[in-house]
Amino acid sequence: MTGARDESDRDHRGGRSRLRARRTARRDGAASRRLVPREPRHVSAGVLVLHAWWGLNDDVRAYAERLRREGYVTETPDLYRGHVATTIADAEKLAKGLDGARATADVDGALTKLTGRADRVAVLGWSLGASYGWELAQARKAAVRGLVLYYPGMDDIYADTNPPTLVHFADHDEFESLADVRRAELVANGGPTAQFYLYANTKHWFDEPSRPEYDKAASELAWQRTTAFLDTHLRR
């Protein structure tokens, strides 16, 4: 019998080394020990990624992957249980059929799971996901260190009760009037920890590559601001 391993999670001498001892059974039955890099049990920064009303599609998965490449751990709850819409009509149907209590529980559970893996956590959401993200930030204030909202509903902008918040909005959003957006901007910018950015000549979904409304320049600028915000509130 070859290759049987008995791994120990104990640190090498005093518990401070990042190496751990691994005991390996040899062919002759003797045991040998060697030091291997110890895998970290806890990472410092995590992001809860909440999808728009389309569902957990490739756009959201790609953004979560970008965050992982930046060194964050992520959780991406699927509120639609595997269903993904590609048309507005299908998205409306899925959103209207969503069990709000169950979705809230899914989001809350994902946050709990993420806080078990990361010391500091932020929430990032688009549209529908932004609304659930805002609600979660109110309910779990001690757990959420930052909140990033892409084109949320106006009811989601409360700078006095949110954690540090970054808001990205289109100036030609078909779901919100520019007047309402401007009022939200005043509210957000009046808060001590809120940042509000309005992107010229963009529409709702400007940040989603699979949509015809996608604006690459605006999306990349928003992403730069998002990663800078996350770095400030999760890593410093």
Q: How many residues belong to the chain?
A: 236
Q: How confident is the model at residue 15 (pLDDT cuts 50, 70, 90)?
A: very low
Residues 128 and 67 occupy one common structural domain: yes
Task: Give me the pLDDT at residue 189, please.
Answer: 62
Q: How confident is the model at residue 13 (pLDDT cuts 50, 70, 90)?
A: very low
159 vs 93: which has the higher pLDDT: 93
Residues 143 and 31 occupy one common structural domain: no
Q: How far is CA 169 from CA 55, 73, 201, in A?
A: 20, 26, 11
Write the CATH number for 138: 3.40.50.1820
- Residue 178, both tokens: 């520019």
Report which residue type is found at 48.
Answer: L
Residues 186 and 153 occupy one common structural domain: yes
Residues 60 and 20 occupy one common structural domain: no
Q: Which of 3-17, 70-84, 89-103 has the lowest mean pLDDT?
A: 3-17
Task: Give me the pLDDT at residue 44, please.
Answer: 87
Q: Which residue segment(s) compose the domain that 14 sits in?
A: 5-37
Residues 62 and 147 occupy one common structural domain: yes
Local structure of residue 40 (DSSP, 8 states): P
pLDDT tens-place string over residues 41-52: 555 899 999 999
Q: Which of 19-33, 93-107, 112-126, 217-231 has the lowest mean pLDDT?
A: 19-33
Q: Which of 155, 127, 117, 158 is nearest to 141 (CA)?
A: 158
pLDDT tens-place string over residues 140-187: 999 999 999 999 876 655 545 568 989 999 989 988 877 777 777 776
pLDDT tens-place string over residues 179-196: 777 777 776 666 667 788
Q: Count of domains in the chain? A: 2
Share of the chain above pLDDT 90, in %: 63
Residues 176 and 227 occupy one common structural domain: yes
99 contact partners, CB below 8 Å, separation of at least 6? none
Mean residue pLDDT across the chain: 83
Local structure of residue 144 (DSSP, 8 states): -
Residues 94 and 203 occupy one common structural domain: yes
